[in-house]
Structure 1
Amino acid sequence: MESHTIRPGHLTAHQTAHLLGITLGAVRLLVHRGQLTHSGGTPRQPRYAVADVAALDAKRRTRTAA
């Protein structure tokens, strides 16, 4: 049985949405568009690498600041 413990350096979909200030649906849309990729978890409970989320957040912030 798979452990539900999140590995260090990974975020849940809820945490990712909260950090980016978007909804869970928007997180799924980012994945669908190829702007964010799963780095673990299951299809129903994906995990995202903190570094990937931080890079996406920085990219989105520079786009809105420009």
Structure 2
Amino acid sequence: MEYVQPPAGTLTTSLAAMSAGVQPATIRDWVRRGILTRCGGTPKRPVYRIDDVKAARAATKPTRPGQRPARAA
């Protein structure tokens, strides 16, 4: 069941992606890589703090040798 409205101060994966200007898969990747942490919800419907999403968006991401440079937004 999708939230009608997530708890105050939090965002669902879809809303976090929209606010950060990325795809939902990127949010899930940030969680997997430890850049962003869940603050509640369920395993299938996590929620994230708004401030944590902003910090993850601004965080320097590790790069790999030969990786293409990020496109300018």
TM-score interval for Structure 1 and Structure 2 normalised by the shorter chain:
0.7 to 0.9
Gaps of 5+ in 2: 61-69
TM-score (norm 2): 0.69
CA RMSD, Structure 1 to Structure 2 (Å): 2.0
Aligned to 2:18: 18
Aligned to 1:56: 56
Using the TM superposition, give the Cα deviation of residue 56 of structure 1 relative to its aligned residue in structure 2, in angstroms: 1.9
Gaps of 5+ in 1: none
Normalized per residue, which structure has more helix?
Answer: 1
SS of the equivalent of 2:48 reads strand
Aligned partner letter, 1:21: G
Residues paired across the two proteins, number? 59
- The Cα offsets for residues 5-39 of structure 1, whole Å up to 9 and x where unpaired, read as 52111001000011111111111100000000000
Using the TM superposition, give the Cα deviation of residue 59 of structure 1 relative to its aligned residue in structure 2, in angstroms: 3.2
Aligned partner letter, 1:29: D
Aligned to 1:38: 38
Alignment identity in percent? Answer: 36
Aligned partner letter, 1:41: G
